[in-house]
Chains A and B, each alone.
Chain A
Amino acid sequence: MAGAAARPGADPGERLILILLVVFAGLVAVLPVARLLIAGLAPSGELDLSVMAAAWSREATQRALGRTLVSALGGTAISLALGTGFALLVTLTDVRAKTVLVFAFMLPLMIAPQVTALAWIQSLGPGSALLRLVGLEPPPGTPHPLYGAGGIILLLGLHHAPLVFLALRAALRSLPRELVEAASASGASPLFVVRTVVLPLMRPALAAGAGLAFVSAIGNFGIPALLGIPAGYTVLVTLIYQRLSGFGPRVLPEVAAIAVVLAILAALGLLAQLRSTRRDDSRTATLSAAVPGWSLGRWRLPVEAGVWMLLGFVVFVPLLALVATSVVKAQGVPLSAETATLAHYLYVLFDHGATRRAFANSFSLAGAAALLLMTVAVPLAVLADWRRSRIANLLAVAAELPYALPGVVLAIGVILAFLRPVPLIGIGLYNTVWIILIAYLARFLTLAWRPVAAGLAQIDRGLDEAAQAAGAGFAFRLRTIAYPMLAPAMAAGGIIVFLTAFNELTVSALLWSSGRETLGVLVFGLEQAGESTAAAAVAVLTVAATLGLMLLGSAVARRLPHGVLPWRA
């Protein structure tokens, strides 16, 4: 079909909705990215690399680039090892309680990185209330063992291991069973089959997972902010943050030049991912039943114990430490029945104005983004899939960009695009809550779109054509067919958007203004100001909200296509 014009039966309603989608995606997704590229590469309208050269001639920039690469590559290596091992274990063996295991393993990804960092700081630092309980705390005055490169690499690795796991699990599920059975029938032991058949076939998926983990690591703000800034270990993302929050919009050209390089690094990682997914597509044609679980035999219990111990140390102990800090009277005081208190919760919930504001801001921002994007995702997916609109397909691809690029890159693009008052209406968005909402809409559109597109792909297109044959126009069909049928997928998309936006720090760290702080900014700010107990209390509350929403998502998961909720086994 030759594009929109040749699509049979595009009624005026359909055309109008398509135009609205183009305007929406153009404003929130395309414009900021385009503005950033122009500011970095051609500030005066034509190609001009002088700003770029000036920014990159500074030693601080070069050092930050080196540290970004070191921490991201180190983190990716850890993610790769953990994610691969866990995926093989969960998909190929008869280890028990897989649903719970997957949920626990996915938790670090769902919990905000700044919260994870805070939890680890609390669990291993000199003031650790938890280590104090068992008498293992480092002596006071010693530097925190996690501050600096080692801690950043470790936490980046843990935080993004679920990404490798997800990529690998999807590929393992479509691994033709016969390939494994043929190897077993040839007399190969399970470990030998994994080494000679499974892992070589998983190479594209491993590349994809590693690419994704790398891109996420170079764009991560929460971890290097909390673990790097106190130690003077600056990566590109924290450098941009420090320069922009220290000097304001006048350093925009310089940070834009740094951001463009960050975007190029991300593009390299994405390229690895893209190339492998394309190769994946051609093989799904031979999809057959999933590989059967190998029996671990007498090793089952030891393996299960080991996995749970590891998960306990990297997931639950830090969270416990966080809870411990949030209920202890003052930091550094040992936790006991006498020193336990809920005062910090009461303080952050009722006395501390900024917290209440931040909760309200984050709730309304995440809620508005989720509702709006859920609503937009359905017509976009319907146009792209059922109606074969080339424009809608292009929009869906464009929507990937703001999510794939590091958050700071998008944030700078949004600042550049909306720093000056909007033409025609003359209202400035900079320093308002609206600029954060725009950035959220741009960044999370693709998160709302993916489950809806997956859901749509499972519905017979004939259901739409039948309605069309029955005389229903596009808007009427959306209302009576697409929206009701896609409601569960929309809900899943909405929950994922809400969760991500609710915990978000990277974008809002650059876009917030006084009175418009988000929860992420608040936790970061409280910790930086030394109010660790209050920071811990807020962090625990956000973790509780996150867990609640994840469980809510699991409750509707039965009605969803497979793989829509990442934390579902």
Chain B
Amino acid sequence: MILDRVTRRFDAAAPAVDDVSLELRDGELLAVLGRSGSGKTTLLRLVAGFERPDSGEIRIAGESVAGNGRFVPPERRRIGMVFQSYALWPHMDVRRNVGYPLEARGLGGTEYEARVDRALAAVGLGDYGRRRPQALSGGQRQRVALARCLVMEPAVVLLDEPLASLDVHLRASLREEFVAFHAETGATMLYVTHDQAEALAIADRIAVLDHGRLLQVAAPETLYREPASVPVAAFVGAGAVVPAEVLGPVVGGVAPVRLLGVTRTLRAAPGQRPGPAAACLRPEDLAVAADGIAARVIRRTYQGATVALALDCAGQRLSAAVPASAVPDSAELRLDIRDGWVIPG
């Protein structure tokens, strides 16, 4: 599935989706991560066909479905969609809910039954076919919604915050279930969420969306370790962005950098030029040391194995996660920078 320079605006103000290009590989689970109002749901609805792009083109399985004067309605796009509310029809039992895409295409008889059976078995709900959706738990409803969109073997499955309406405990277990499920079916999935922990945990790649613009598309680890811009560094993961000066060329993926009054070797993108830049320091990049940068503790939050420290270092806010045993009681301490990333730009 390919989005090519897609824009959608609802009014004269800033577009909801602004010039977004994105490619989804076969069998991939791509998470679209953004705050509420970032345009992520609009992006999903554009792919589904519930919104029409003002410009740009969308292609699904090689076929152009929107753009250049063409518009294929949702019902002919070979998509599967899991709604935040799951949108299960209360007047139909589970079997009929799951079989609905087949029914809509006029399929019946043994093939209908076999495919519904297969889809229900895939989500482990083989015995629940005659129940009404109202009689199921939140997790079971989600599985019905998944079975319904898989029964047609769609080109792409679209998921709109499927875990958002569940409570915290259920969410964690369903997240694992979801990863296993994706691995088994190998379906291509576009997954919209505002929860970065969720995105980092389940996605093959993450697309960060802000104010309708795509900031970065990368694997979770890359996104966390090597954010491409200051907004991405600030949005994904904890930590701080501090001003820095690159002192020399990048050699072997690292470069000498001056920051917070000291010189350290930080990771940097190839081609990073010497000069003023910004560095991203994650909480685990900082350690308490006997000798290092002086910092003042603003707040300490006990988290079990570690203590989260909010620090002030010569006017710069930093955050660190250090082993509980390593934290001195004093309000002043010294820090060592063990790792860091020079944000390109």
Contact = CB atoms under 8 A, between A and B. Distances in A.
Interface of A: 6, 8-11, 460, 462-463, 465-473, 476, 480-481, 484-485
Given A465-B87, A466-B83, A471 B50 contact: no
Grouping DSSP codes into helix (H, G, I), strand (E, B) and loop, the A interface class, with mixed when no group exceeds half, is: helix
Which of A8, A466, A480, A484 has the most chain B CB atoms inside 10 A of its CB? A466
Interface string B267-287: 000000000000000000000
Which of B73, B77, B84 has the most chain A CB atoms inside 10 A of its CB? B73
B148 interface: yes
Contacts of B148: 466, 470
B89 A481 contact: yes
A481 B105 CA distance: 15
Given A465-B87, A466-B83, A11 B100 contact: no
Nearest to B157: A469
Contacts of A472: 75, 100-101, 104
A470 to B, nearest CB: 4
B89 A469 contact: no
B76 interface: yes
A465 B85 CA distance: 12
A356 B13 CA distance: 66
A471 B49 contact: no
Contact of A471 (B51, B71, B91, B101): B101
Contacts of B51: 8
A107 B189 CA distance: 58
Given A9-B74, A485-B90, A480 B100 contact: yes
B73 A463 contact: no
Contacts of B49: 8-9, 468
A463 B89 contact: yes
B212 interface: no
A8 B52 contact: yes
A467 B100 CA distance: 8
26 contacts: A8-B49, A8-B73, A9-B50, A11-B75, A460-B87, A462-B83, A462-B84, A463-B87, A465-B83, A465-B87, A466-B81, A468-B49, A468-B75, A469-B48, A469-B79, A469-B81, A470-B100, A470-B152, A471-B152, A472-B104, A473-B75, A473-B104, A476-B104, A480-B104, A485-B89, A485-B90
A6 B84 CA distance: 25
B290 to A, nearest CB: 59
Contact of A10 (B73, B81, B88): B73
Nearest to B10: A1
Interface of B: 48-52, 71, 73-81, 83-85, 87-91, 100-101, 103-105, 148-149, 152, 158
Contacts, number: 85
Contact of A462 (B87, B101, B149): B87
Contacts of B88: 463, 466
Contacts of B79: 469
B73 A9 contact: yes
A472 B87 CA distance: 15
Nearest to A468: B74
A480 B96 CA distance: 11
Contacts of A462: 83-85, 87
Contact of A480 (B50, B81, B90, B103): B103
A468 B77 CA distance: 10
Contacts of B52: 6, 8
Contacts of B78: 471
Contact of A470 (B84, B90, B101, B158): B101
Contacts of A6: 52
B52 to A, nearest CB: 5
Contacts of B101: 470-472
Nearest to A469: B81
A469 B49 CA distance: 8
Nearest to B76: A471
Contacts of A460: 85, 87
Nearest to A7: B52
Contact of B73 (A11, A476, A480, A481): A11
Which of A8, A480, A485 has the most chain B CB atoms inside 10 A of its CB? A8
A8 B83 contact: no
B77 to A, nearest CB: 8
Given A466-B83, A469-B79, 11 more contacts: A8-B73, A9-B71, A9-B73, A462-B85, A465-B50, A465-B74, A465-B83, A466-B87, A467-B100, A470-B75, A470-B152
B125 to A, nearest CB: 17
A366 to B, nearest CB: 28
A469 B149 contact: yes
A9 B75 CA distance: 8
Given A467-B100, A476-B104, A8 B75 contact: no
A468 to B, nearest CB: 4
Nearest to B152: A471
Contacts of B50: 8-9, 465, 468
Nearest to A459: B90
Contacts of A10: 73
Nearest to B51: A8
In the A-B complex, the 10 residue pairs with the smallest Cβ-Cβ separation, listed nearest first, are A9-B73, A472-B104, A466-B87, A462-B87, A470-B101, A469-B81, A468-B74, A462-B83, A471-B104, A8-B52
A473 B72 CA distance: 12
Contacts of A468: 49-50, 73-75
Contacts of A463: 87-89
Nearest to A476: B104
Nearest to A473: B75
Nearest to A9: B73
Contacts of B103: 480
Contacts of B104: 467, 470-473, 476, 480
